Structure 1
Amino acid sequence: MSARAQVRAWRPGLNGVVEVLHAYFPSHAYPSHTHDAWTVLLVDEGVVRYDLDHREHDQSRTQVSLLPPNVPHDGRSVRPEGFRKRVLYLEPDRLGTDLTGAAVDQPELLDPVLRRRIEQLHGVLAVGQEPLEAESRLTLIEERLRQYLRRQTPPARLKDPGVASDLRDLLDARLPTGVSLDEASKLVHAHPAHLVRAFSREYGMPPHRYLTGRRVDLARRYLLEGRPAAEVATLAGFYDQAHLTRHFRRMLGVTPSAFAKP
């Protein structure tokens, strides 16, 4: 019998951290998606391979990966036994959007001190009884991440994505209700075909896939608040619970109920 995925996810009472995820995936492969948060990733077992902004990266347990908000990435195991990981999702303003380019160009950090500090923070958050210690450890982690990113910041990455950025802002504002391509083209003042091509070129996925991924992201937040899956499906913009479950399982490898299970 093949091993089953194991997931523990929760929202800690720590300002700046929107989600903590501990997971083991024996076979799941993440499709391309984005988050509205900084992703601080540790791999504890196995090796993870992922594409970030069309470039391939590998991560083992000696590294820390820092994936910036709103940049598409996927993920899969290099080895047949799968991988085990721990993730912190940080609010986007904790590190600054001006540092996105540096993280895209060099997301892997070979920094034993940083990794040890992140492991310590995970231990504190898993118990959930020492808020001052958690705040202190997060502050040191963020300081070290910002120092690293500022050393790496390439000026050429700072650019205006134009209509693609406008459409992303519109999709983010309309997550539950959605928006038709015709309406979006009128609001953004661009031909629908040009809008799709520009968005896909800038973010590595078509607008509909981005919207679905962001809705799954929103569903995660509601599930961690303790809301039932049927209610979450409506709040996050899915047709029904089955629709939510299909996309949630495709994205995360587990059902909504398994994801939010205590």
Structure 2
Amino acid sequence: MKPRGRVQMLRCALDGVEATAAHTTHAFARHSHDRFGIGVVVAGGQRSASGRGPVEARAKDVITVNPGEVHDGSPLDEHGRAWRMLYFEPSLVYATLAECAHAPVREVELTRPVLNDPQLSACFTRLYSVAVSAANERAGFDDLACEEALLALFAHVGRHHATPLTPEREHIGPIVRARSRIDDDPASSATLADLAAEAGMSRFQLLRSFAHEVGLPPHAYRMQRRVALARRLIASGTALADAAACAGFSDQSHMTRAFVRLLGITPASYAGAVR
């Protein structure tokens, strides 16, 4: 199974950062990322149901996503759209924002999913160029240029496009328990009845409440967590067939279909970029 168009994982010179380049008509199902995402649409346009509301993005717009934010994405027309994207580990974002602000930063969210900010776009393009383009052209890395570009990007983000989150007292509710069971062992074949028992609900109550609180039904959420587990295994050097088995997929083809549906790339392409 191949994506319609091309979504490509690229080598990146920065630890804690993943990069993609895409030109595709692929419609992405509802999903979320474990990382912050910042990117620029370079051609065409996209419509998405963001956790911060429905949005449309067009060429030259900056697009963002927060960790855990459920969203989808489809092209505005048959020509598709092209974008460049960087995904940042939350710990890297918090540390960089704290350094720029000279103050501790615990948790923030990127305030808007689509931005028309030429300075932010220029900062992103600079970082993408020095950290990604040079790496994939096998030229020499310039660590100093990467560090400068990273700080410039997040200095601007921190001043204009990040909102501190107020810490909330942790509440271990029934849906949190059910979701934690999936998080702890995504490869498990737990049934809806098992998850309902964990939450102390009927299957129907669990299904309705899980979709409302998480943004995805249990099966789709587990599939997403299996893809995330497989990505970690593949990045660590695990063979594709073994990663599929360890992550709970019926076979490698099953894993490939899930990767393409959620990420627009195949596991083999991902492996080639991160190893």
Shorter chain as denominator, the TM-score bin is 0.7 to 0.9
Q: 1:117 aligns with which of 123, 129, 132?
A: 123
| Structure 1 CA distance for aligned equivalents of residues 258 and 192 of structure 2 | 21
Question: 1:160, CA displacement in angstroms?
Answer: 5.8
Question: For 2:249, what is the secondary structure of its paired residue?
Answer: coil
The aligned counterpart of 2:49 is 51
CA shift digits 1:181-209 (9 cap, x unpaired): 34434444444433322221122210110
| Structure 2 CA distance for aligned equivalents of residues 98 and 191 of structure 1 | 35
Asked whether the equivalents of residues 43 and 83 of structure 1 are also in contact (C-alpha less than 8 Å), the reply is yes
The aligned counterpart of 1:144 is 156
| Structure 2 CA distance for aligned equivalents of residues 41 and 159 of structure 1 | 32
Deviates more, 1:248-257 or 1:90-99: 90-99
Identify unmatched segments of 5+ residues in structure 2: 95-104, 136-140
The aligned counterpart of 1:99 is 108
The aligned counterpart of 2:22 is 23
Amino acid at match of 2:124: I
- TM-aligned CA distance change 1:97 to 1:166, over 3 Å: farther
| Structure 1 CA distance for aligned equivalents of residues 158 and 171 of structure 2 | 22
Question: For 1:7, what is the secondary structure of its paired residue?
Answer: strand
Question: 1:161, CA displacement in angstroms?
Answer: 8.5
TM-score (norm 2): 0.78
Amino acid at match of 1:7: V
Report 1:1-262 matches (<5 A): 5-10=5-10, 12-17=12-17, 19-25=18-24, 27-53=25-51, 55-93=53-91, 94-95=93-94, 98-100=107-109, 103=111, 106-126=112-132, 127-128=134-135, 129-150=141-162, 152=163, 162-177=173-188, 179-261=190-272
| Structure 2 CA distance for aligned equivalents of residues 158 and 58 of structure 1 | 34
| Structure 1 CA distance for aligned equivalents of residues 174 and 11 of structure 2 | 34
| Structure 2 CA distance for aligned equivalents of residues 136 and 79 of structure 1 | 38
- TM-aligned CA distance change 1:167 to 1:185, over 3 Å: same
CA shift digits 1:139-191 (9 cap, x unpaired): 332232233344x5687x99968433343333222123354434434444444
- TM-aligned CA distance change 1:158 to 1:46, over 3 Å: farther
Question: 1:115, CA displacement in angstroms?
Answer: 1.2
- TM-aligned CA distance change 1:154 to 1:205, over 3 Å: same
| Structure 2 CA distance for aligned equivalents of residues 248 and 257 of structure 1 | 10
Asked whether the equivalents of residues 53 and 73 of structure 1 are also in contact (C-alpha less than 8 Å), the reply is yes
Amino acid at match of 1:66: T
Amino acid at match of 2:118: P
| Structure 1 CA distance for aligned equivalents of residues 242 and 204 of structure 2 | 34
Asked whether the equivalents of residues 5 and 254 of structure 1 are also in contact (C-alpha less than 8 Å), the reply is no
Deviates more, 1:67-76 or 1:210-219: 210-219
Question: For 1:20, what is the secondary structure of its paired residue?
Answer: strand
CA shift digits 1:46-91 (9 cap, x unpaired): 1111111383111123221211111210011112211111111111
Question: For 2:108, what is the secondary structure of its paired residue?
Answer: helix
Identify unmatched segments of 5+ residues in structure 1: none
CA shift digits 1:94-146 (9 cap, x unpaired): 2477434x63xx22222211111111111112223123322332233223223
Amino acid at match of 2:126: Q
Amino acid at match of 2:119: V
Amino acid at match of 1:21: T
| Structure with greater Cα Rg | 2
Q: Percent of aligned positions with the same letter in both sequences? A: 30
- TM-aligned CA distance change 1:216 to 1:97, over 3 Å: farther
CA shift digits 1:24-64 (9 cap, x unpaired): 21x21001011111121221111111111383111123221
